[in-house]
Structure 1
Amino acid sequence: MSAIVTDIEGTTSSISFVADVLFPYARARLGSYCAAHPEQVASILAEVEAIEPGDPIETMTRWIDEDRKITPLKTLQGMIWDAGFKGGAFKGHVYPDAVAALQRWHAAGLKLYVFSSGSVAAQKLIFGFSEAGDLMPLFSGYFDTTTGPKREAVAYTRIADAIGLLAGEILFLSDVSAETDAAKAAGMQALLIDRGGGPADIASFDEINL
């Protein structure tokens, strides 16, 4: 084992933090943020309209309600969350067992990476402004949906190539079985986590024995 790639929502961090704090914060500010930053969001709005013609703000609002994993939406959410994190509106939730394990693995020389449907910018905010402090120095890189769909093996093959390791040298952690299955199909090792204690390989990072 030379590297570990981890998901965020439901894995290192609570689903409720993302669903009940981050999503509503961005949803309420989509229109006002775009109106205040027209040049920064122009290409994002154009991409949304190319995917689905119509009012891009209404489209993205519906995408949030439907929990759609669409790259331009994730990019804009990250931009809105940036202001919230840096303004102290909230701090990123990371489970204490995840913090301890990540610190332990980093100290042991393992390379740590993130693969989440949230944008790379959003990932860095959650770990950079976490309740446990700045955790960004623990990570060697970040991957989002621009790498590929999380439920398709090709994304994990691309991650292995980007990291420069054989897929079998990488462990992937997620709370979604379709994602761990895709990682395994690419040749990675993978563990399914269910923090509610349901059927899974582990219920917390404390159970991972490398």
Structure 2
Amino acid sequence: LMEDIEHLDIAGDELDLEKVKSGELTPVFFGSALTNFGVEPFLEHFLEMTTSPLPRNSSIGEINPFDDNFSAFVFKIQANMNKAHRDRIAFMRICSGKFEKGEDVYHMQGGKKIKLAQPQQFMAQDREIVEEAYAGDIIGVFDPGIFAIGDTLCAPSKKFKFEGIPTFAPEHFARVRPVDTMKRKQFVKGVTQIAQEGAIQVFRELFIGMEEIIVGVVGVLQ
């Protein structure tokens, strides 16, 4: 193992924190959580090297992370995270202001106010209720099917939309149809949910309906 570390000293570049901050250089830590090797140095230096939350473009200009008004955007949706329940979690990154549990926020794409009653933070398989969170934090909320990737949540007194998350053109396509035609409704619902999670893109031929759909993905693993 020590010989491998010596090889890294030869192959790696010198750490330049300014290049890290500008995105020209990416620091890499080597270690093993299983053997507890290299974990402590990683935890000590991670916060020092990471940048503070940056402004984000919106329909009314840049939103400063130090703005007092709450704002966040949904960047991921994940279903069935709890094996005991068919839950669905929308993950959102807070971009400005302070969030408090039970706060009323405005869902721009839905066009209405909603209450985020049970915000959670996750660590591996563990989750805990969050009482408050700030710009840069990531929280998860239960999604009854109203959220989509790229949605904006903001204070009711200051409404705007963040710029959308980039999407990539699919390179692999397949026709998909239900094996059991009696379960067409479940098939359509399942495909729609996977598309909302951002894993696939769904295409339909004109005048055919959802009996058979075309699914597009970026990579083979998808």
Give the TM bin, normalised by the shorter chain.
under 0.3
Question: TM-score, length-normalised on structure 1?
Answer: 0.24
Indicate the structure with greater helix content.
1
- Answer 1 or 2: which has greater strand percent: 2
Larger radius of gyration: 2
